[in-house]
């Protein structure tokens, strides 16, 4: 898989995001790092509370409940109960999907 530059994709870290905020917004590096942490922590806190987080033109982080089910150990084939749990799902907006695919889309609310 390659990115839009024809190179292998790289991982963007919190530090990379903080550096981008520093360059574009003009906050200090420390303030930029704190801002990135604050946003990430706020998203995490809302998900822990069971709330969904919708970021227009980007996507939604959704908390879904999964019921108990029977799974199988792939090595032995033995049935194993899988307990009910909460899972997190990211659903990208149509605008983000279009941008990733190199399409132009009018910036509209989903």
Rounded to whole angstroms, the Cα distance separating 44 from 38 reads 10
Q: Kindly list the structural domains of the chain, giving each domain's residue range(s) and its CATH number in brackets, ordered by start.
A: 1-49 (no CATH), 50-109 (4.10.520.10)
- For residues 1 and 77, which has the higher predicted lDDT (pLDDT)? 77
Please, what is the Cα angle at 12 between 9 and 17, to 5 degrees? 145
Per-residue pLDDT tens for 39-77? 999 999 999 999 999 999 999 999 999 999 999 999 999
Judge contact between 52 and 60, C-beta under 8 A. Answer: yes
Output the pTM of the full model.
0.75
Q: What is the pLDDT of residue 11?
A: 94
């Amino acid at each position: 898989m390659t990115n839009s530059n024809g190179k292998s994709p790289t991982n963007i870290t919190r530090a990379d995001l903080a550096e981008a905020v520093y360059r574009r917004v003009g906050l200090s590096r420390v303030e930029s790092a704190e801002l990135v942490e604050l946003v990430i922590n706020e998203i995490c806190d809302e998900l822990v509370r069971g709330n969904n987080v919708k970021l227009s033109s980007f996507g939604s982080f959704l908390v879904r409940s999964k019921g108990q089910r029977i799974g199988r150990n792939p090595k032995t084939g033995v049935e194993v109960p899988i307990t009910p749990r909460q899972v997190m799902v990211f659903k990208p907006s149509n605008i983000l999907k279009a941008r990733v695919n190199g399409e132009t889309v009018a910036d509209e609310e989903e």
